[in-house]
Chains A and B, each alone.
Chain A
Amino acid sequence: MSTILWDTNGTEIVKTLAAERRAAGALASGLAVTLVVVVAEERVEEAQRAATTAAAAHPCRLLVVVRRRVDADDRLDAEVQVGGQLGANEAVAMRMYGRLTLHAESVVLPLLASDAPVVTWWHGETPDKLAHDALGVLAGRRVTDAADDPDPMAALKRRARDYAPGDTDLAWTRTTPWRALLASAFDDMSDVATSAEVRSQPGNPSAALLAGWLTARLGVRVRQMESDGPGITAVEVRFGGRDRLRIDRPDGYLATLSRPGITDRQLPLKRRDLGELLAEELRRLDADQPYADALSVVTGEKGLDSRSPKRTLVWKDPARAARKAATTTKKTAAKRTAAKRTAAKRADARKAAARRRSS
C-alpha cells in the first residue's frame, strides 16, 4: 500500500501515515527506532533498498528526505508506504524544494516514532559539520560514510574534527569482520605484538581505521601498504622476529589465516553490502568508543570521547553563501573558469569514489 501526496504539508503526511497504519492493522506496533535517510534523488532507490534490508532485522520507521533545488518555489511531495514491499515497516519518502530544504526538520519532527531513538544516515553528500543539518541534530546516532567522499582521508579528518559521541561511519562498520577475526585469532596468542601492517587499495578509509584500531589496542606502529584491492587485502601482526599472524583476502571473499605452528585455515570473509552494514549500525545505538579511539589515532585529533554528545544547530544558509560567492567571483572571470575546472575534477573524483566504495 502506498499513497502519494503532491504539493502537501507535514500535517497531511502525519494524517496519512496514521490512516495507513490503521488500515494495515499495525496499531499495536513495536517500532524500536526511526531511521532518517538524507539522500540525493539519483540514489534514493539504492538507499531504500539498503534500508529495507536493515529494517528486516530492526523494524523501524524509515523517513527518506530528498532535498531538491533551493532556488525553486517551496514545495513538499511525499509518498507514504506501510507494509507492502517494505515488509513489516513503514516508510515516508519526502521530496523538498525551495527554502523548505533548509527546514526539513519541520516536516520530520512530527513523524518521529514516539520516544524511540533516531538514527540519521547521510547517503551521499554529508555536511562538513553535522550540526549544520537539523536532521543530524535531532538524531542520537549519526551515520556517515567516508568512503563515499571524493577524498576519503580528508573526510575522516573532517569527521574527527566534528566528532561527537554517537557519530559513526560506515568505513568503520566495514572493518568489523576483520576485527572479529583478528580478535578471535588473538585469543590463543601468548606473545606480545611488536609491529603490524595493513594492506589495501590506496586511500581506503577502512584500512586507515583498522590500522588506527590496531595501534590503539596493541600500542605498536602499524604500517599501511598499498595493494590493488578490493578493499583491505591483508593484515599482518608480528611478534618479535619470527612469529607472525597473517590474514590474506585477495578476492574480497575468502580469507586465509596463517598462524605460527598451525596449518593455514581458510575462512569466509565476505565484503558486505550496504544493507548489511546499516543493519549492524542499527544493532547498537550507544556511543562507539572504539571508533573514537581509532579515528583519533588516524587523524591525530584528541579527546574525541570526552566531547559532549549533544549538538546544537549551527545555522548555515547556502543561498547566502552562494550569493556571497557570486559577488566575489564576478570580479575575475578567470577565477570562475578555475572554479569550473575544480568542479569537474570533483565530479571525476566522485565517480572514482563510487567505484572504490565498500570494503
Chain B
Amino acid sequence: MTASYPPLTDIPPEDGPPYRVPLRNPLRDVRDRRLPRVPGPCALVVFGVTGDLARKKLIPAVYDLANRGLLPPGFAMVGFARRDWGDGDFAALARSAAEQGARTGFREDVWQRLSDSIRFVPGSFDDDEAFDTLASTLVEMEESHGIQGNAAFYLSIPPAMFPVVLKQMQRTRMADNSDRGGWRRVVVEKPFGHDLQSGMDLNRLVDEVFTPQDVFRIDHYLGKETVQNLLALRFANTLFEPVWNGNFVDSVQITMAEDVGIGSRAGFYDTAGAARDVLQNHVLQLLALTAMEEPVAFDAEAIRTEKTKVLGAIELPAHLDQYAVRGQYDQGWLGGQRVASYLEEEKVPKSSTTETYAAVRLNVQTRRWAGVPFYLRTGKRLPRRVTEIAVVFKKAPHLPFASTDTEELGHNQLVVRVQPDEGVTLRFGSKVPGSSMEVRDVSMDFLYGEAFTESSPEAYERLLLDVLIGDATLFPRNEEVELSWKVIDPLEEFWAGSKPELYRAGEWGPRGADDMLARDGRVWRRP
C-alpha cells in the first residue's frame, strides 16, 4: 500500500545545498510554531577543543542546546586536540566546562545522554594517523549515532595552524561534500587575517578546501539578540524608517568599550591592536546593519548583499590626522582598583606602539547617509563594558519656546544597547513639572529582560545552531571581510610609525578623541 500525503501548505525552508534530497518531512509545518528549529543529524568536530574558547563558550553552548532540546537525535561531538587524553579524561574536562559555563541549569540526565555522543581524538595537526583516525571516527558514527555523513568543523585554533589542518582535511577528503553523501561545513573564528592581502589569502585557502557557501565566519556579536533586533526595529516598524536618513539624523556613534585589559592575549594583541582586533569586524558589522538598505527578503543572501553594499560605500575622511585617533592606556584607577599601563602588561614589549583605543570618523557614501558622520570608537580599560549604537537626531528646526526654556534640551537619540542590559533607549525632551516652561531630556527604556525574557540565548548557542542548520544569515561572507580590510588598511598605514596617545585607564579614551568630535561641534555620548 502506498500512502499519499495530504497536500501541505508549506515547504520547509531548505537553505543547504542539495546534496541528497530527502523526502519532504511531512511532520514539519511552518504554521506549527511550537516545534523548535532543530538541525538534521550531524556531527560537530572541534579542533583545539582544550582551548579557552572551546571550554568557556563552545562546550557550554552545546550543552545548553541539548538541554533546550535543540540538538537532533543523531548528533555527535568530536574533540580534536594535541593532548594525550582518552575519551574519559576529555569527558571530565567537557563536563566541568559545561557545569561552569552553561546558561541553563545543569541536569545530570541531559549530560549523560550528551556525553554518550562525545568522542575525543588526540593528535597533533601534522600527524597523518590522527587525521585518519578522525575520518574513520566520523564514518563509524554514521552507524552508531546516525549522523549521516554531515559534519561541521570548528577551527578553534590560531590562524597560523589553518593551512596544516586544512591540508589534512583535504588529504582525508573530510571536507568533501560528495564523499560521504552529506554536507561538510567549516567554522572560522576571527581574526580573518591582519590586512587585506592576508585576509584574501586566508579566504582563498579555506575556499579551496571547502566550497564558499560552506564556510561560516563567526562574529559572535551578530549572534546577540539586540543585533538581530536592530533589523526588526528598522524594518518591522513604520515609526523609525522615515527618519532613518540624513534628513533627520545628525550623526551616528557606535561604541564598543571594555573595562578589562588585554589579559593573557598579549602575544596576539600586540601584533594586532584595537583597530584590527575589534574595529575591522564587530564595529564595522554593527555599522553595516545600522546603515544598510532594506533587504528584499529576510534571508542570508539578501541581507549579506545589503551589508556588502554599505561596506563598499564607506569612505575614510580626507584628513586622517584630524579624524582618526588612537590611544594606549596608561596606569590608572578603574572600578576602585589600581591597574597597570599597557606597557607594563605581561609579555608586552616596553617599546610597543600598539593601540588599545581607536576612534575614527567615517562617511557612508549613499543618498541615505550623505553628510552624516559615523563616529566609531573602541577601547580597553575604559570605565565600563558597554556596546551600543546611538543614532543622534538633528535638533528641531524651530523651537517656539524661549531659548532659556530649552537650554537643557539635547538631541533626540535612539540608542540600541547591544550589551549589557540588552534593549533600546529613546531620548527625547519633556517638560519639567512646575509652573514654568522648561524642557529637559528624558529616557524611555525598553529592556529585553522585561518584555520578552526567555533569557536571550547566548550568542554562540544561536550561531552554532545556525551553522548546523545551514542558515548563513548571521555570518559575514568573504567580500564583507575584504571590504572591511579596505577600510582598516589605510588607517594602519597612516598610523604606522607613530606613537599612540596615552589615556589614563578608567577614563573615556584620549583627549584627541574628544577634540575630534569638538572639531565638528559634537560630543561623545556617555554610554
Within 8 A of A (CB), among B100-158: 107, 109-110, 113, 116, 143-146, 148
- Chain A at the B interface: SS class: mixed
A179 within 8 A of B: yes
Is B5 in contact with A183, judged by CB distance below 8 angstroms? no
A179, B34: Cβ atoms closer than 8 Å: yes
In the complex the two chains form, what is the Cα distance from A315 to B303 in whole Å?
A: 53
> What residue in chain A is nearest B446 (Cβ atoms)?
A30
**For the side of the interface on A, what is the size category?**
35 or more
Q: Which residue of B lies closest to A189 (CB)?
A: B23
- A40 within 8 Å of B (CB atoms): no
The reply to whether B113 and A180 form a contact with Cβ atoms under 8 Å apart is no
Residues of A within 8 A of B109 (CB): 253-254, 268, 270
Interface string of B479-500 (1 = CB under 8 A from A): 0000000000000000000000
Check if B451 sits within 8 Å of A59, measured CB to CB: yes
Which A residues lie within 8 Å of B454 (CB)?
57-58, 283
For chain B, the bracket of interface size reads 35 or more
Q: Given A180-B38, A188-B148, A193-B3: A30 and B450 within 8 A (CB)?
A: yes
Q: Is the CB of B69 within 8 A of A218?
A: no
The reply to whether B3 and A182 contact each other, CB–CB distance below 8 Å, is no
Residues of the A chain whose Cβ atoms lie less than 8 Å from the Cβ of B449: 88
Assembly CA distance A192 to B5 (angstroms): 9
- Whether A192 lies near B3 (C-beta < 8 A) is yes
Given the complex, which residues of B lie within 8 Å of A280, measured CB to CB?
Answer: 34
Q: Do the beta carbons of A180 and B36 come within 8 Å of each other? A: yes
Least CB distance from B461 to A in Å reads 16
Q: Does the CB pair B2–A184 fall under 8 Å?
A: no
Shortest beta-carbon distance, A259 to chain B, in Å? 7
From DSSP, what is the main secondary structure of chain B's interface residues? Answer: loop
Query: How many angstroms from the CA of A254 to the CA of B69 in the assembled complex?
Result: 13
Asked, given contacts A262-B74, A268-B113, whether A194 binds B451 with beta carbons under 8 Å apart, the answer is no
A201 to B389, CA, bound (A): 56
Q: Are A189 and B22 in contact (CB under 8 A)?
A: yes
* Cβ of B73 under 8 Å from chain A: yes
Asked if A88 and B450 sit within 8 Å, CB to CB, the answer is: yes
Whether B110 pairs with A268 at a CB distance below 8 angstroms is yes
The stretch from A13-21, A41-49, A284-292 touching chain B is A284-292
Contact A284 B41 (CB under 8 A): no
Q: Which residue on chain B has the smallest CB distance to residue A257?
A: B73
- Bound CA–CA A58/B451 (angstroms): 7
Cβ-defined contact, A191 with B453, below 8 A: no
- Determine whether the beta carbon of A263 is less than 8 Å from that of B38: no
Considering only residues 22-81 of chain B, those with a C-beta below 8 Å from chain A are 22-23, 25-29, 31-36, 38, 40-41, 69, 72-74
Chain A residues with CB under 8 A of B444: 28
Which of A187, A261, A267, A270 makes the CB contact (< 8 A) with B22? Answer: A187
Is A29 a contact of B146 with CB atoms below 8 Å?
no
A-B contact count (CB 8 A): 137
Knowing A217-B26, A254-B109 touch, does A262 contact B453 (C-beta < 8 A)?
A: no
B5 engages A219 (CB within 8 Å): yes
Q: Contacts A58-B453, A58-B454, A186-B25 given; indicate if A267 touches B144 (C-beta within 8 A).
A: no
> What's the least CB distance linking B464 to chain A, in Å?
16
Binary contact track A150-180/B, C-beta < 8 Å → 1, others 0:
0000000000000000000000010011011
Asked whether A265 lies within 8 Å of B450 as measured between CB atoms, the reply is no
Other-chain contact of B25, A173, A187, A259, A284 (Cβ < 8 Å): A187
| B421 CB → nearest A CB, Å | 12
CA distance A219 to B72 in the complex (A): 24
Considering the chains assembled together, what is the distance between the CA atoms of A183 and B2 in angstroms? 21
For A269, give the chain B residue with the smallest CB separation: B69
B351, CB-defined interface residue at 8 Å: no
Chain A residues positioned under 8 Å from B2 (CB to CB): 192, 194
Other A-B contacts than A88-B449, A187-B41, A194-B1, 7 sampled, CB-CB below 8 A, are A180-B38, A186-B25, A192-B3, A218-B5, A219-B4, A265-B74, A284-B33
Top 9 A-B residue pairs of the complex, sorted by shortest distance between their CB atoms: A30-B450, A30-B451, A262-B146, A183-B27, A184-B38, A290-B32, A187-B40, A289-B31, A32-B451
26 A-B residue pairings within 8 Å (CB atoms): A30-B446, A31-B450, A56-B453, A176-B34, A179-B32, A180-B36, A183-B38, A184-B73, A185-B73, A186-B26, A187-B28, A188-B148, A189-B23, A190-B23, A191-B23, A194-B3, A216-B6, A217-B5, A217-B27, A217-B29, A218-B5, A263-B143, A266-B116, A267-B113, A268-B113, A283-B454
